[in-house]
Chains A and B, each alone.
Chain A
């Protein structure tokens, strides 16, 4: 049983950041109820993928594991009333909409805490709830670009910024927000106080570029992309291996590791070569080192390189693709990838929450139920209305 068993979260979330934050709380044991509506309130990710079935979009499934689904029309006054009744019986409210959306619905933090003062209200807007650009529409990659991360995520001296195919701000805030919620729950248990928590996704992203900002602030110098380099290692780079788009990384941090690598390259004389014997010397010959290493890696299989180097004490890794990770025996051995059962698709292999707490603090991932699968649970079981009333509201599009 996940440790947050007994905590109820109401989630108004779409796409990546909000749903993943909610999903992590759910896998930690919280009862997370996601509110959606056919009246303009469905999660974007239900529309991604080949199937037109709203329950079959793989991106949605992965981002909403362990979450319960209820349909409530927030454009209807009765829908808002029922939502408020649910919130009054809950511990946490989470949204990742633009700042004005919840306020417009009459669900601003102040209004919610009037319903229940000890509520924890969590907001995770792209650029924050205040500031001249607070109203801007954002998406993970726009925030990565805005924060300075894309600028630095490149090989050196490139003609234009490049970056990566990941909505990094979403995933970062999706980890920091559940941590913040748990901290607020601990405080509430000690003091009885609720909280309004605001995590701007762009600020979460800036918090992992703190050294670069200090370099700019203190040394008055613009940090520049350094690609795969690290000033305290040589060689330290990404090298081609046997096969198409196959790569490994090698990171030699000590002279001892260099001697081990020289042996593996079958060039023991390099260990004593004055050009390479010390880190200082190796840093002056990075290009030659990269040629030496890639000449050896090019004809070899990436995983065999990693095992051979790591077993000799030389840090190395395969640049793993999704396929490699899917087959990664180490991850399987650790039980990181779970076969999640979906009612119509069958088994989908998916990673769980990447933290292991002894004593079973994190539940195995389960598929979210079908859209609206827990509307009856919310309206009848939690709020105490009759099934007749439920049917009437469903007819009237209040619960749809």
Chain B
């Protein structure tokens, strides 16, 4: 059972904001995705099932819209816009991610003063860059995460999928629920403004490190900024991430019987000292980790009290015994995609994992919504269809 019931969100977002609606669905909202009759553009964005482009075959669409309902509506037509306004009257939340000012939000609010409107944009609703375009790579670059990503010998590299959007959407869900909580006591509608740049820039002490230390963090692969060894290390059959702070160093020396004798000195217990000698440490530790198989090394180090985990490919992660035991991947049935496994919502409530739901087919819920929410007759609906409104 999700946490919430009886809440309605209208999802008008493009790729930037779609994960926010998915999160609201996972928290228990009914989420109505309003799509143009030709379908949301994300439906035309791959990867596709079997690499065949199809409006119901986009895996990106399927994940980001899982559990939502689809209503096709041409809001450019007056009748379509009018239906959207009527829907807003019944809704608790509207989520959108268009350029600031592109959607007449005041018209929506005028119909429903209690409406919460959450906007996810590259740079927020105010400020000199508010109209700047924000593909994912721009969000990651402007937010400072890209500068600290990748191999220093190569150009900075962006995070996989559309991470700046995912991350901003987590905050969009947070802000929406916060406004929802307050509305429970004062009944007021509100605007929630999420800037993708700001959500990214809130991570990893990026701004503070410059402010207090006078120097920016620079990219250094997965090497931790203060700790060594703390990096990706090779084994005989793959990689692990090993993380050794002060208490772990002694444990590592015990675990490693033929460690270099120079590592014995008390100065090596000091985080800063080890960090200064990070290259020397990494070279020697790598010689050691190569002697093991990946899973054996992780298990044995963990047994010795040292944080170490295997580095997985996506497929290897799905096959991890631990992940399978936790049933993180849940089966879904979909008329076009077939039956498949999808990542479940990461929140367990009272020990229960929520089942996952398939994404909607284009317009799958149009009739249901128009009938149940507006009491439109089959004839009305046929007329709207003929006019291309739905």
Give the size of the chain B interface in residues (CB under 8 angstroms).
151
Report B-chain residues with C-beta under 8 Å of the C-beta of A155.
Answer: 150-151, 154-155, 157
Q: Mark A235-272, 1 if CB is under 8 A from B, else 0.
A: 01111100001011101010000000000000000000
The answer to whether residues A356 and B193 also contact, given A136-B309, A206-B328 and a CB cut-off of 8 A, is: yes
A78 at the interface (CB under 8 A from B): no
Q: Mark A161-199, 1 if CB is under 8 A from B, else 0.
A: 111111110011101101110111111010000011111
A3 at the interface (CB under 8 A from B): yes
The answer to whether residues A175 and B171 also contact, given A164-B148, A357-B179 and a CB cut-off of 8 A, is: yes
In contact, A355 and B4 (Cβ under 8 angstroms): no
Which one, B135, B142, B146, contacts A230 given CB within 8 A?
A: B135
Report A-chain residues with C-beta under 8 Å of the C-beta of B215.
Answer: 322-323
The answer to whether residues A153 and B218 also contact, given A132-B325, A238-B155, A315-B133 and a CB cut-off of 8 A, is: no
> Would you give the shortest CB distance from A40 to chain B, in whole angstroms?
11
Report B-chain residues with C-beta under 8 Å of the C-beta of A154.
Answer: 150-151, 157
B141 at the interface (CB under 8 A from A): yes
Q: For the complex, what is the distance from the CA of A238 to the CA of B156, rounded to whole Å?
A: 7
The answer to whether residues A217 and B181 also contact, given A137-B306, A354-B202 and a CB cut-off of 8 A, is: no
List A residues 272-297 near B (Cβ within 8 Å).
none
Which one, A48, A131, A225, contacts B160 given CB within 8 A?
A: A225
Report A-chain residues with C-beta under 8 Å of the C-beta of B179.
Answer: 3, 357, 361
Report A-chain residues with C-beta under 8 Å of the C-beta of B123.
Answer: 330
B256 at the interface (CB under 8 A from A): no
Interface size class of A (residues with CB under 8 A): 35 or more
In contact, B205 and A59 (Cβ under 8 angstroms): yes
B210 at the interface (CB under 8 A from A): yes
Q: Mark B170-192, 1 if CB is under 8 A from A, else 0.
A: 11111101111110100010111
B16 at the interface (CB under 8 A from A): no
In contact, B343 and A210 (Cβ under 8 angstroms): yes
In contact, A166 and B193 (Cβ under 8 angstroms): no
> Would you give the shortest CB distance from A134 to chain B, in whole angstroms?
8
B220 at the interface (CB under 8 A from A): yes
List B residues 261-299 near A (Cβ within 8 Å).
271, 298
Of A135, A151, A232, which is in contact with the most chain B CB atoms at under 10 Å from its CB? A151
Q: For the complex, what is the distance from the CA of A171 to the CA of B199, rounded to whole Å?
A: 10
Interface stretch of the complex, out of B47-55, B71-79, B360-368: B47-55
In contact, B222 and A163 (Cβ under 8 angstroms): yes
In contact, A358 and B157 (Cβ under 8 angstroms): no
Interface stretch of the complex, out of A83-91, A333-341, A371-379, A390-398: A333-341
Q: For the complex, what is the distance from the CA of A219 to the CA of B341, rounded to whole Å?
A: 11
In contact, A318 and B142 (Cβ under 8 angstroms): yes
Report A-chain residues with C-beta under 8 Å of the C-beta of B143.
Answer: 320, 325
Interface stretch of the complex, out of B80-88, B315-323, B382-390: B315-323
The answer to whether residues A146 and B216 also contact, given A211-B47, A357-B190 and a CB cut-off of 8 A, is: no
The answer to whether residues A310 and B197 also contact, given A145-B312, A203-B328, A209-B343 and a CB cut-off of 8 A, is: no
B39 at the interface (CB under 8 A from A): no
Which one, B190, B210, B316, B346, contacts A206 given CB within 8 A?
A: B346
- What residue in chain B is nearest A173 (Cβ atoms)? B346
- What residue in chain A is nearest B2 (Cβ atoms)? A183
Interface stretch of the complex, out of A31-39, A66-74, A100-108, A343-351: A343-351
In contact, B126 and A333 (Cβ under 8 angstroms): yes
> Would you give the shortest CB distance from B279 to chain A, in whole angstroms?
16
The answer to whether residues A219 and B49 also contact, given A148-B313, A207-B345 and a CB cut-off of 8 A, is: yes
Of B170, B232, B308, which is in contact with the most chain A CB atoms at under 10 Å from its CB? B170
In contact, A212 and B178 (Cβ under 8 angstroms): no
A142 at the interface (CB under 8 A from B): yes
> Would you give the shortest CB distance from B292 to chain A, in whole angstroms?
16
A223 at the interface (CB under 8 A from B): yes
Report B-chain residues with C-beta under 8 Å of the C-beta of A152.
Answer: 160-161, 314
B257 at the interface (CB under 8 A from A): no
Q: For the complex, what is the distance from the CA of A217 to the CA of B264, rounded to whole Å?
A: 48
> Would you give the shortest CB distance from A200 to chain B, in whole angstroms?
7
In contact, A146 and B309 (Cβ under 8 angstroms): yes
In contact, A163 and B47 (Cβ under 8 angstroms): no
Q: For the complex, what is the distance from the CA of A104 to the CA of B203, rounded to whole Å?
A: 32
In contact, A322 and B206 (Cβ under 8 angstroms): yes
Q: For the complex, what is the distance from the CA of A4 to the CA of B321, rounded to whole Å?
A: 40
Report B-chain residues with C-beta under 8 Å of the C-beta of A133.
Answer: 302, 322
Of A160, A186, A218, A313, which is in contact with the most chain B CB atoms at under 10 Å from its CB? A218
A55 at the interface (CB under 8 A from B): no
A231 at the interface (CB under 8 A from B): yes
> Would you give the shortest CB distance from B107 to chain A, in whole angstroms?
17
- What residue in chain A is nearest B234 (Cβ atoms)? A160
Of A4, A145, A203, A353, which is in contact with the most chain B CB atoms at under 10 Å from its CB? A145
Which one, A58, A137, A226, A354, contacts B208 given CB within 8 A?
A: A58
Which one, A222, A319, A326, A357, contacts B175 given CB within 8 A?
A: A357
In contact, B181 and A186 (Cβ under 8 angstroms): yes
The answer to whether residues A214 and B142 also contact, given A310-B133, A351-B202 and a CB cut-off of 8 A, is: no
In contact, B201 and A176 (Cβ under 8 angstroms): no
Report B-chain residues with C-beta under 8 Å of the C-beta of A317.
Answer: 132, 134, 137-139, 141-142
Which one, A131, A148, A180, A354, contacts B194 given CB within 8 A?
A: A354
In contact, B217 and A322 (Cβ under 8 angstroms): yes
> Would you give the shortest CB distance from A239 to chain B, in whole angstroms?
8
> Would you give the shortest CB distance from A142 to chain B, in whole angstroms?
4
In contact, A330 and B302 (Cβ under 8 angstroms): no
Which one, B156, B157, B192, contacts A357 given CB within 8 A?
A: B192
Q: Mark B26-64, 1 if CB is under 8 A from A, else 0.
A: 011000000000000000011101110000000110111
Rank and list the top 5 A-B pairs by shortest CB-CB distance, nearest first.
Answer: A322-B210, A152-B160, A145-B241, A203-B346, A322-B216
**Extra 17 A-B pairs, beta carbons < 8 Å, given A47-B271, A323-B215, A350-B208:** A130-B325, A141-B230, A164-B149, A182-B178, A182-B180, A186-B184, A213-B314, A213-B317, A214-B62, A219-B47, A225-B160, A230-B135, A306-B132, A319-B147, A349-B208, A357-B190, A361-B178
- Chain A to chain B contacts (Cβ below 8 Å), 11 pairs: A138-B307, A141-B241, A182-B180, A207-B345, A213-B317, A216-B315, A217-B318, A329-B128, A351-B201, A351-B208, A359-B190
